[in-house]
Amino acid sequence: MTMAEFARQESLNYSTLAGWVAKAGKTPPAKSPIEFARVQLPAPATAPERPPQLEVCLPDGTVLRGGQVSELASLIRALRS
């Protein structure tokens, strides 16, 4: 899957994804595309699945959803660093 296909599938802005990849220092040579793998996590056995309680919209259009403020704050700091 190409980065463009992955960005489209995950509703990400392509330039945002490309920036993250470049910032991580893992920009591939032009002839070998990045490969992504789908990860399926098991559903928790005791807690019913609930929709996220919090939503943060960043200026670049990135939307983060989650249930704990501390986790969202950590994720935002990581994305900005």
CA distances from 49 to 3, 39, 55, 78 (A): 29, 18, 17, 26
50 vs 21: which has the higher pLDDT: 21
3, 33 in Cβ contact below 8 A? yes
Name the residue among 51, 45, 79, 78 with its Cα closest to residue 66.
51
What's the pTM?
0.33
User: What pLDDT is recorded for position 48?
Assistant: 62
5 vs 23: which has the higher pLDDT: 5
**Which of 8-17, 43-52, 58-67 is least confident?**
43-52
User: What pLDDT is recorded for position 31?
Assistant: 59
| Alpha carbons 15 and 11: distance in angstroms, whole number | 12
1, 35 in Cβ contact below 8 A? yes
- Amino acid identity for residue 26 in this structure: K
